[in-house]
């Protein structure tokens, strides 16, 4: 972990597993994504890197069934990296994780985040009122949830002055002050906005059906919907992202219909080849 190259590789692994969410990433995909050498030497290096990440506090589990290719899942919410890094290094690492692009590349020139991400997430968890400046205006909000969106931590809050739910990008929050646990309110009977882009209404809605014996939980986490036995039904309004996630699920799910979505999936797979 001492060389810049080794640290960058560990960061690449952490970024890849963070992006894979609760579905996780198979060892073969992780080897290719991070760019390990082919053969046994690459596998050994990957295993050492996973052990190093666990040693500094990350919880990485193999969620694959016996006999299957290992599928590594990074559990969210673990902040024990503070033990190994100074506050300045930890803030830089958080900024790097937030600044990574779709390919896992980090723009190191990006300025550090103005607030500690863990403080924000803890405020959501313990229901603390938050005061800060955003777009030059003072805000008093009751945080309700947080989520990564386009490599930015976004907090959904009830803004007291407007009486509306709003989403705030943490990288643009300034002068954050957090109240006592339990000081936040939870307004009733108000529809909350959806942050996951798979729910965005881009295309005409269509109901998709997937078959996923033994992997219903993975499919629900990845595309939403409702399960009935070995099948999941989901209303699709963002076809591009839905099909991308079905491809990422791989053998864990099979798209049964409708025919138009199956045809679009087939075309995407042919292009990928």
Residue 152's Cβ-count burial label (10 Å; 0-12, 13-18, 19+) is middle
State the CB neighbour count (10 A cutoff) for residue 168: 22
Q: Is 211 left (phi over 0), alpha (psi -120 to 50) or beta?
A: beta
Distance CA 164, CA 248 (A): 35
Domain ranges across the chain = 4-99, 117-178, 197-272
- The tokens of 122 are what? 């803890």
Choose among 1, 39, 21, 19: nearest CA to 222.
Answer: 21
Residue 260's Cβ-count burial label (10 Å; 0-12, 13-18, 19+) is exposed
Distance CA 212, CA 219 (A): 7
- The tokens of 205 are what? 């809605």
Distance CA 132, CA 120 (A): 11
Phi, psi angle pair for 205, to nearest 5°: -65, 140
Residue 158 near residue 141, CB atoms below 8 Å: yes
Give the CATH architecture of domain 4-99.
Answer: Orthogonal Bundle (1.10)
E strands, 63-184, are: 71-74, 130-134, 137-149, 152-159, 164-169, 174-178
Q: Can you give the pLDDT of all 273 residues of the chain as single tens digits?
A: 445 577 778 888 888 888 777 778 888 889 888 888 888 888 888 888 888 887 777 788 888 777 677 888 887 554 444 445 555 555 555 555 555 544 555 444 445 566 777 788 888 888 899 999 998 899 999 988 877 655 567 788 889 998 888 888 888 888 999 999 889 987 665 555 555 667 777 778 999 999 999 888 888 888 888 988 899 999 998 888 888 888 888 888 899 999 999 998 888 777 545
- The tokens of 57 are what? 């506090």
Q: What is the pLDDT of residue 196?
A: 65
Q: What is the pLDDT of residue 98?
A: 52
Q: What is the pLDDT of residue 78?
A: 44
Distance CA 208, CA 15 (A): 30
Indicate the SS3 state at residue 200. coil
């Amino acid at each position: 972990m001492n060389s810049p190259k080794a640290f960058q590789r560990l960061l690449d692994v952490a970024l890849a597993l963070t992006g894979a969410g609760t579905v996780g990433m198979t060892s073969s995909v992780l080897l290719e994504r991070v760019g390990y050498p082919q053969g046994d030497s690459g596998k050994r290096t990957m295993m050492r890197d996973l052990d190093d990440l666990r040693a500094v506090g990350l919880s990485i589990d193999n969620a694959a069934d016996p006999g299957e290719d290992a599928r590594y899942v990074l559990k969210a919410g673990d902040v024990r990296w503070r033990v190994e890094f100074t506050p300045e290094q930890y803030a830089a690492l958080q900024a790097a994780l937030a600044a990574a692009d779709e390919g896992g590349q980090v723009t190191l020139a990006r300025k550090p985040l103005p607030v500690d991400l863990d403080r924000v997430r803890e405020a959501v968890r313990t229901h603390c009122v938050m005061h800060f400046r955003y777009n030059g205006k003072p805000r008093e909000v009751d945080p309700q949830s947080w989520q990564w969106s386009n490599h930015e931590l976004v907090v959904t809050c009830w803004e007291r002055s407007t009486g509306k739910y709003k989403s705030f990008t943490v990288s643009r929050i300034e002068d954050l002050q957090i109240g006592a646990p339990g000081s936040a309110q939870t307004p009733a009977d108000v529809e909350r906005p959806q942050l996951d882009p798979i729910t965005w209404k881009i295309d005409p809605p269509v109901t998709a059906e997937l078959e996923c014996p033994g992997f219903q939980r993975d499919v629900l986490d990845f595309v939403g919907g409702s399960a009935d036995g070995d099948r999941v039904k989901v209303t699709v309004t963002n076809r591009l992202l839905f099909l991308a996630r079905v491809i990422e699920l791989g053998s864990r799910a099979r798209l049964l219909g409708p025919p138009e979505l199956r045809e679009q999936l087939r075309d995407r797979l042919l292009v990928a080849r």
